[in-house]
Structure 1
Amino acid sequence: MSKADPLIKAALTARSRAYAPYSDFLVGCAIESGEGKIAVGANMENACYRLGVCAEQSALAAAQQAFGLANIRRLAIVGGPRDAATSVAGEAVTPCGGCRQAILEAADEAGADLEIICCDHNGNSTMHTTIKALLPNSFTLK
């Protein structure tokens, strides 16, 4: 898989719209439904740190509104420093702990172990995993 994947392309576009004036770390997330629809989100920072929103949380809210959490199948995350050189590969960005829990609860709604594609700032897929691999032995509603 590469940035030719429409899901990674959507996450790259979302990353370009992130609002991160404090950390300069831009993250975009795209979530795909079983029917191929895509919802996106980006991180939105705030001077009151606790009021910021992660890209994954933003995309999950958009997916719930667009097609419902029960219909999600895979998720792509693209992130890295604003000034990262496009000619240099970066490290894969993975969801934080809170986002892992939110993704897991969405996966429970979908009845699936969601595929997660973690990419660097260029959208190069550097890690393929699932939510259960990222958050084993987790708390669930079901």
Structure 2
Amino acid sequence: MNRNDERDALIEAARDASKRAYAPYSGYHVGAALLLKNGDVVTGANVENASYGLTLCAETAAVAKIANEGWIGELAAVAIVGGRPEGDALLGSDPVHPCGRCRQILNEAAERSKTDILVHCASGDGSAVKSYRLSELLPAAFGPKDLGLID
């Protein structure tokens, strides 16, 4: 599978995950798909809470899943898709980018994986995709290496 096919499949997995979002307050559904080094894909969706500070972003939910399975050091790439659902479609023409908290959460997994992961940010309607290295989205990041926990 070439890099564009891999990216598109990861984005589609994130789009599918967004259908499982629990977003009764914002109505904004976000899905994330994490590509592991062995080729497996793990997904997550946002989970809102009436106490807004307890809300989980899709990226955080997906990283929690890989951490709980012991795969925290296996992250290779991530895709994020978000928008407002209308039937089976997601509306929104601007790529969705990870928030600051999620960039930090992704950095933890990326440092454990010893790679500067690709982050594919896609619009809900599929019309726009922007890809970045995590280091572009979170320059001079603080992580496990700063605590002397990894090389």
TM-score past 0.5 threshold: yes
Counterpart in the other structure of 1:57 = 60
**Take 1:3 and 1:28, find their aligned partners in 2: how far apart are those partners?**
17
After superposition, give the CA deviation of every residue in 1:58-103 in whole Å (9 maximum; x if it has no partner).
0101122346111110000010123499597610000000000110
The match for 2:35 among 10, 19, 32 is: 32
The CA deviation at 1:125 is 4.8
- Structure-1 separation of matches of 2:70 and 2:7: 23
Q: 1:23 matched to which residue of 2?
A: 26
> Could you say which residue in structure 2 is the equivalent of 1:129?
132
Task: Look at both structures and tell me which one has the larger radius of gyration over its CA atoms.
Answer: 2
Q: Which amino acid aligns with 1:47?
A: A
How many Å separate the matches in 1 of 2:5 and 2:70? Answer: 25
Q: Who is 2:46 aligned against?
A: 43
The percentage of aligned residue pairs carrying the same residue is 37
2:98 maps to a residue whose letter is P
Secondary structure at 2:48 match in 1: coil
Conservation of the 8 A alpha-carbon contact between 2:103 and 2:138: yes
Q: Tell me by how many angstroms 1:10 deviates.
A: 1.0
1:62 counterpart SS class: helix
Once residues 6 and 89 of structure 2 are traced to their aligned partners in structure 1, the CA distance between those partners, rounded to angstroms, is 13
- Paired residue total: 142
Per-residue deviation, 1:39: 0.5
| Aligned mates of 1:137, 1:14 — CA distance in 2 | 30
**Which one is further off, 66-75 or 100-109?**
66-75
TM-score if structure 1 supplies the norm length? 0.90
Specify every segment of 5 or more residues in structure 1 that has no aligned partner in the other structure, as ranges: none
1:114 is aligned, of 110, 113, 117, to: 117
Q: State how far apart, in whole Å, the 2-side matches of 1:129 and 1:4 are.
A: 12
Deviations 1:34-73 (A, max 9, x none): 1110110000001110111000000101122346111110
Question: Residues 135 and 21 (structure 1 numbering): CA distance in 2 closer, same or farther, change over 3 Å?
Answer: same
Task: Say whether residues 1:139 and 2:147 are aligned partners.
Answer: no
Aligned pairs for 1:39-118 within 5 A: 39-66=42-69, 68-83=71-86, 90-118=93-121
| Pair 1:121–1:67, CA change in 2 (3 A) | farther
When residues 55 and 87 of structure 1 are mapped into structure 2, their CA distance, relative to the original with a 3 A threshold, is: closer
- Kindly indicate whether structure 1 or structure 2 has the higher relative contact order, using CA contacts under 8 Å at least 6 residues apart: 1
